[in-house]
Amino acid sequence: MKIVTFSRNVFIPLTNACRNRCAYCGFRSDNHELMTPNEVKSLLSKAKNASEALFTFGERPDVYDDVKRKLKAMGYSNFLELVRDVNELAVKMGFLPHTNAGVLSYEELKKLKPYNASMGLMLEQAVELECHALSPGKKPEVRIKTIKNAGKLLIPFTTGILIGIGEKPYDRIYSLEVIADVHANYGHIQEVIIQPFQPKKGTPMQDWKPPSGEELLEVVRKAREILPEDIAIQIPPNLVGDVYPFLKAGANDLGGISEVTPDYINPEHPWPSLSDLKAMLRNEFLLRERLPIYPKFVRLRWFSDEIADLIYRLADEEGLRCSTT
């Protein structure tokens, strides 16, 4: 039976302050709230079954003076100091961090690597689009540079494309080819998310239509043709409904599923239960839990000494999640 993987995670939205203003985003806010390490600790303590601490937040929130002031009151001189601190806290509590920090420099990625099992940055699309006109961090070249720098640092990496934000069908193919090309050079891409755009009330794109199921299936088929077999294709089960046709088309990962936190990016779409997901597999696929680092990179030992013990404790001999933990 073909294996389909998922990760049991806890979603930690450290801040919704963001220097970008993507026209489809319902996550960003001008309230600039920051989670404290104590709040992170309390959230993690509720997620006993999870192995992944998913840190997701707006890009470069400390461009704002009020964010800088809040960080200073907490004893940090910049936002990445807070990120590194809560990454380390998660490891101490038995969770493997996966951080989505937006665009970072080589040195910034290097600072976060020791306490992250993997990191991520959606490419979105490798072409300039109107919805990103107010988002300097969404310029394709700066995102590709971050993804390449993660490869230079041997960071197992997640990227993906967002479908339905004004790109043409050939842009999707080009974006997948760009990811395949980066992977051919660095070998660090572990999964590519095929994410459908979802309209959000109060955003400039609230009246746009999300892509159809058939369109998404076509992208998954193309992704399976373009990307090498060692890159998993991930579809978000809370956004696509029945996952079965997508698995038949070549997807083989269902991403992070949380029992204690919503998908803060798409809170109107709750995660399906594991029993519902299993039923969707129609006895043709076997659902297995993985860690935020894929088995290939566990075998290659692409992780730091700081998290090695935890990975060996959580992984089984195949590099997937040990069933006894």
By CB under 6 A, residue 25 contacts ligand SF4: yes
For 257, the enclosing helix (H) or strand (E) is strand 253-257
CB-nearer residue toward ligand SF4: 204 or 250: 204
Question: In the complex, what is the shortest distance from the CB of residue 251 to ligand SF4, in angstroms, rounded to a whole number?
Answer: 23
Is residue 167 exposed (0-12), middle (13-18) or buried (19+ Cβ within 10 Å)? buried
Give the nearest distance from C-beta 259 to ligand SF4 in angstroms: 24
Binders of ligand SF4 among residues 5 to 24 (CB under 6 A) are 18, 20-22
CB 43, CB 60: distance < 8 Å: no
Do residues 184 and 216 make contact, with C-beta atoms less than 8 angstroms apart? no
Rounded to the nearest whole angstrom, what is the least distance from the CB of residue 277 to ligand SF4 in the complex? 26
Judged by CB, which is closer to ligand SF4: 137, or 272? 137
State yes or no: residue 27 binds ligand SF4 (CB under 6 A).
yes
50: number of Cβ within 10 Å: 23
Tokens for 246? 């997508």
Provide the 8-state DSSP code for 30.
S
Smallest distance from the beta carbon of 187 to ligand SF4, in angstroms?
27
53 binds ligand SF4 (CB under 6 A): no
Q: Which is nearer to ligand SF4, 204 or 245 (CB)?
A: 204
In DSSP terms, which residues pair with 289 in a beta bridge? Answer: 6
Q: Judged by CB under 6 A, does residue 101 bind ligand SF4?
A: no
Residues 6+ apart with CB under 8 A from 42: none
Our finding on whether 164 is near ligand SF4 (CB under 6 A) is no
By beta-carbon proximity to ligand SF4, the closer residue of 102 and 237 is: 102
Spatial neighbors of 224 by CB under 8 A, at least 6 apart, are 233, 249, 250, 251
Q: Does residue 64 bind ligand SF4 (CB under 6 A)?
A: no
- H runs (alpha helix) in 165-303: 169-186, 213-226, 237-240, 244-248, 274-280, 295-299
Strand partners, 8: 257
Single out the residue of 306, 325, 273, 322 nearest to residue 114, CA to CA. 306
Contact call for residue 28 and ligand SF4 (CB under 6 A): yes
Neighbours of 31 (CB within 10 A): 9
**Size of site (CB under 6 A) for ligand SF4:** 12
Residue 263 in the binding site for ligand SF4 (CB under 6 A)? no
* Closest distance to ligand SF4 from the beta carbon of 157 (Å): 17
Question: Looking at beta carbons only, is 127 or 300 nearer to ligand SF4?
Answer: 127
Angle at Cα 217 formed by Cα 213 and Cα 220, nearest 5°?
140
Q: How far is the CB of 18 from ligand SF4 (least distance, A)?
A: 3
* By the rule CB under 6 A, 135 interacts with ligand SF4: yes
| Pick 61 or 156: Cβ nearer ligand SF4 | 61
Amino acid identity, residue 226? I
Q: Which residues bind ligand SF4 (CB under 6 A)?
A: 18, 20-22, 25, 27-28, 58-59, 102, 135, 137
